[in-house]
Structure 1
Amino acid sequence: MRDQPLPHRSFSLPILDWVRHYEKSWVKPDIIAGVTAAAVVLPKAMAYATVAGLPVQVGLYTAFVPMVVYALLGTSRPLSVSTSATLAILTAAALGQVAPGGGAAQLAIATATLTVLVGGILILAALLRFGFVANFISEPVLTGFKGGIAIVIVLDQLPKLIGLHVVKGSFFHNVYALVTGLPHLSTATVAVGLVTIAVLVALEHFYPKSPAPLIAVALGIAGVGLLGLGKYGVSVVGHIPTGLPSLVMPDLALVEALWPAAAGIALMSFTETIASGRAFAQSGEPVPQPNRELLATGLGNAAGALLGAMPAGGGTTQTAVNRLVGAHSQLAELVTAAVTLATMVLLAPLIGLMPHATLAGVVIVYSVGLFKPADFRAILSVRRTEFVWAVVALAGVVLLGTLQGILIAILVSLVALAHQVSDPPIYVLRRKRGTNVFRPVSAQHPDDEEFPGLLLLRPEGRIFFVNASNLGHKIAPLVERARPQVVALDMRAVFDLEYTALKMWTEAEKKFREHGIAVWLVGLNPDVFAVVEKAPLGKALGHERMFLNLEQALAAWHALQDKQNASPGLVR
């Protein structure tokens, strides 16, 4: 389904669409899905808030306001919106630049400024119809980027898992600090962290539909309350304010320093949102519309910023839970938001007993899943070049930092795109015997017909100033080896021929003609034919050397051969 223009549907709220078609049989599964998703979303959101260096209640605010706004404006029915590991680590890097070691008030203002900038960028992108931008980060590069994020997050959380306090720095500094600090770890803290990880892994493996994070967090809180783990050196979250979030205003003085990071976070938020929405859309449901998704997540971030939320976006894990448990509509998200609200109002004091090691265990278990060796192997098994791009993106995140890493990921994607368009393929064609099928020369088809004196070539893609010269360099040795009388270019797969490339081809045709080689063009689409016809190349070839298809070109070749045989002195 094509994305609908924003101006045309500016007064159409997606909530009206799904409410209008809502079925009574969906109520129970939507409620169950919303409650179950909340059991997964809330512990992870609080854990990711700590990854960002923020109080745990910020995770609750992020799972509330953006969730409600998206349910009203978003186009994906199962998508569950809060924060993610990727957004958390990017947020941490951004806040570290403007509020290093800042107090709670300073962090709240910086977070509000960052989040409202993310929302504003997403809204502006929606108005400018930039939804297509999500396609500019290739899958191998995104694989590498997420793998790097996983390594960074795990390394960041390991000190909390074992009860160490280390001064953060570069990747190698952090590794060194962790290794040298091992003799000073807290045995009780390690035990809590390992139990948390064991519970999560066991539940995910044996009972995948269970609210594993909620159970792990409940066990951690119970351990503190019943076993007095605090007296053994296990640190806890501490006081969490009860009630609704307070209004926080952004600081315009921070905009200049934060907007580059906000742009990167906005891109990743949108990429994760649209990927999750598309992955879990079922047959018969509306396909997520990229520009509407930009608008919905943008408004969700902007509204959440004023109420203390950190940058938000769609999450794959929580959306998967939402869908698998039976969500049919955005009502499930509203139920999740209602559970979050109840948690803020009633359960905040209990959450304050949660061990930091428990939160670290939750983060590590679900962040490790971002690094998927199987995806790297799959890329390598198909194309080595894309595997290199994935590794470069991973190394950029790990060694240079997450914000620099996202820039490297984008740069690698653009370089990959430029490389692909600058090096278009060109195939030598032969005909399958007894048919009118022309196909590239292949070792699997050694008996295909060739026609001595006629070289059939098929270029593919857009031919323009970037790749025209490379294409010429590829054609030259083919002509040198074949020494043909006629080079026929099958142009069916060429959808555009740019002026610079056309001029270069005109000069090439002239040189071929001077060496006694004729150039024919075959299968031009109407747009390319119109361009060629108006150019000197069209005048040089004339309609007699431009053919509708390869069959016509081959018939003309046979006719030319017959004439040459009848009149040996015939000059083309």
Structure 2
Amino acid sequence: MPHASRVSEIPAQPHARQRSRRYSGSWAKADIVAGLTAAAVVIPKALAYATVAGLPIQVGLYTAFLPMIIYAFLGTSRPLSVSTTTTLAILTATALGRVVPDGNLATLTVAVATLTALVGMTLLLASLLRLGFVANFISDPVLTGFKAGIGVVIVVDQLPKLFGLHVDKGSFLHDVYALMAGMPHLSLATFMIGAATIAMLVSIEHVWPKAPAPLVAVAACIASVALFDLSSQGVALVGPIPAGLPSLTLPDRSLVGELWPAAVGIALMSFTETIAAGRAFVRDDEPVPIANRELLATGLANLGGAFLGAMPAGGGTSQTAVNRLAGARTQMAELVTAGGALCTMLVLGPFIAMMPQATLAAVVIVYSMGLIKPAEFRAIRTIRKTEFVWAMVAAVGVVFLGTLRGIVVAIMVSLLALAYQVSDPALHVLKRKRGTTLFRPASPDYPDDESMDGLLVLRPEGRIFFVNAQRLGSKMLEQVEQASPRVVIVDLGAVFDLEYTALKMLVAAEAKARASGWEVWLVGMTPGVKQLVRRSPLYEVLAGGRMFARVEDAVSHYEGMRMQNALGAEG
């Protein structure tokens, strides 16, 4: 989309707290257009999610109102659009179904307020405990896969609306099969509306890129419904929306015991989706969302929304995609979206009610397709195949397991891959560039680099601890057996930590070396590593001229010893 390629005029900042408080008037148009465009997607979807959760349809509007406003002032992501999501709606339905099985409206209203308040307090507690570091386990390749998987899920989810089919939702494969099986029953009028919306969106973006394409398409489709009475031809509409402002709703402490386990799960989902969506759509010239501040912002957004009877909220991927791709510069766009929800409550309900479901589906599909980027997958695969696997696992996991399980699986794969890398630390054999004092890892690219007779120079990298000490020791022993040296120089300059197990192994290796007739010298120890060595028996053994600051110093000492030995032999 052309909007997605625009370069933000907001100066890059190293930290979200340092972002400028001044708002440029030049950003206003983009934010207003983006906010209204997002509202055209957020409002109908929020209404639908309320019904998914088994709640009155107006609860969706309440969720797209106050939580958005609170997040707009406290959140650290510029494009993130906060209301509710499919997963949160499903989890909410499950939680409320257990507490209010009879669906009593009065009890349901109090129960959802209690649940949303508990979700907010859980997020606030997580912020207080600074648990936002969990977000650091979501790597860029995982985000690439996450976005692609979400894009596929959203498109498949919206296709039945585009074709005018009624499909019982289930797993991804179930939905695909149901969609294919229902194609003979396609509603031609509905499909024509959806196809016309897609054609308008694509055409306007290419011919008139600065125009608010979704707004134009939505307005045209609503006008078509009124002019041609499309509802009588089987075109499904959003439908009537009750008017009026929300009333104050107080949580019920007696429901806390039943709802808190579900609230913890929903809070985890809310945070996962929020931070993933926020990071997925950050630009290079914007600060990365701060996880603990996101916990605080979404926690207060949920807590505030609870008193208006809103359902649990979090960052929505599809609506954030629409907001970002429509040109949002700041959170002012979300305030515009919240204003749209307020206007819908008071004035615009009859107009929004006439929006075809196929039009909404078309807008979501067109923007969601931008989440699937094969070029990014190819780039990741070219650079590092392991991280390409992470991306694919994230994509497949989201598609077949759902957002939360998919991202958890991807994180687990990332951690397992990281654990494997840590368990097998790099070990380089160093050689000297001929005619210099430069030592560098042996490589076919440097065939003229020289090694010295009887000397082996090794450089391990990373943290050496109980997980990898044995493996590193085996790799070093293999090099020693191949080279049969008289002296092994171990350059520890790239080792930032030496754990007790690793130090114990080094002590044992040095003793074995002396017994076998060769020596171990240590070089380039960092202050921390040197302090550890000082506290061990190894220090007394090596203190007599077997510890050096630089590799070249150790090699010069070795060459001096050889020369003395040679002179002594001649004498």
Do they superpose with TM above 0.5? yes
Query: Which residue pairs with 2:262 in the alignment?
Result: 257
**How many angstroms apart in 1 are the aligned matches of 2:200 and 2:314?**
27
Name structure 1 gaps, 5 residues minimum.
5-13
CA distance in 1 between partners of 2:397 and 2:81 (Å) = 28
Alignment-derived partner of residue 81 in structure 1: 81
Cα offset, 1:276, TM superposition: 4.2
One-letter amino acid matched to 2:425: P
Amino acid at match of 1:313: G
Give how far 1:265 is off.
2.6
1:110 CA displacement: 7.0
Task: Give distance in 1, aligned partners of 2:103 and 2:85.
Answer: 18
Q: Distance in 1 between matches of 2:119 and 2:489?
A: 53
User: How much does 1:319 deviate?
Assistant: 5.7
Q: Residue type of the partner of 2:34? A: A
Q: Which residue of 2 aligns with 1:120?
A: 121
User: Is the aligned partner of 1:505 residue 2:506?
Assistant: yes
Displacement, 1:429?
Answer: 1.3
Percent pairwise identity? 51
Letter in 2 for 1:551: E
Moved more, 229-238 or 41-50: 41-50
Maintained 8 Å contact 1:95/1:107 = no
Give how far 1:237 is off. Answer: 1.0
| Residues 140-199 of structure 1: CA deviation (Å, up to 9, x unaligned) | 222223322222222222212111112222222222222111111211111111122222
Matches within 5 A, 1:207-246: 207-246=208-247
Q: 1:383 to 1:110 in 2, by over 3 A?
A: farther
Compared with structure 1, are the counterparts of its residues 170 and 338 closer, same or farther at alpha carbon in structure 2 (3 Å cutoff)? Answer: closer
5+ long unaligned stretches in structure 2 = 1-12
Q: Secondary structure at the match of 2:241?
A: coil
Q: Report the counterpart of residue 3 of structure 2 in structure 1.
A: none
What code does the residue aligned with 1:268 have? E
The corresponding residue for 2:382 is 381
User: For residue 446 of structure 1, what is the amino acid of its counterpart?
Assistant: P
Query: Which one-letter code corresponds to 2:463 in the other structure?
Result: R
1:311 aligned residue: 313
Partner in structure 1 of residue 26 of structure 2:
29
Deviations 1:324-369 (A, max 9, x none): 57x5x65565455434433432212110111111111122222222
Task: Look up the match of 1:10.
Answer: none
- Compare 527-536 and 444-453 and name the one that shifted more: 444-453
Q: How does 1:556-571 map to 2 (within 5 A)?
A: 556-567=557-568
Asked whether 1:272 is paired with 2:277, we answer yes
CA offset digits 1:25-65 (Å, max 9, x no partner): x2x33432332121222022135436743677555444432
Q: Distance in 1 between matches of 2:126 and 2:518?
A: 52
Distance 1:239 1:51 in 2: 12
Residues 369-388 of structure 1 deviation map (CA, whole Å, 9 limit, x = unaligned)? 22221221111111112222
Q: For 1:419 and 1:88, how far apart are their aligned partners in 2?
A: 35
Aligned-residue CA RMSD (Å): 3.2
TM-score norm. by structure 2 comes to 0.85
Question: Do 1:62 and 1:309's aligned partners in 2 also have CA atoms closer than 8 Å?
Answer: yes
Q: Residues 528-543 of structure 1: matches in 2 within 5 Å?
A: 528-543=529-544
Residue 297 (structure 1) aligned with residue 298 (structure 2): yes
What residue is the counterpart of 1:203 in the other structure?
204
TM (norm. structure 1) is: 0.85
Cα separation, 1, equivalents of 2:467 and 2:481: 24
Structure 1 partner of 2:461 = 460
Q: Identify which range, 29-38 or 548-557, moves more after superposition.
A: 29-38
- Residue 534 of structure 1 and its aligned partner are, at CA, apart by 0.6
Determine if contact 1:98/1:110 at 8 Å carries over to the other structure. Answer: no
- Residues 525, 549 of structure 2: 8 Å contact kept: yes
Q: Which residue of 2 aligns with 1:418?
A: 419
DSSP 3-state at the match of 1:514:
helix
Structure 1: distance between partners of 2:62 and 2:30 = 20
CA distance in 1, matches of 2:162, 2:488: 69
Q: Aligned letter for 1:126?
A: S
Count of paired positions? 544
Letter in 1 for 2:466: F
Q: Is residue 426–residue 461 contact of structure 2 (8 Å, CA) maintained in 1?
A: yes
Deviations 1:416-461 (A, max 9, x none): 3222222221111122223332221122221122222211111111
Q: Distance in 1 between matches of 2:239 and 2:102?
A: 18
Give deviations 1:273-310, integer Å, cap 9, x for gaps.
355456442xxxx7754433332232123223443254
Among 39, 42, 49, the residue aligned to 2:39: 42
CA 1:275–1:35 in 2, change beyond 3 Å: closer, same or farther? Answer: same
User: Are the counterparts in 2 of residues 274 and 293 from structure 1 also a CA contact under 8 Å?
Assistant: no
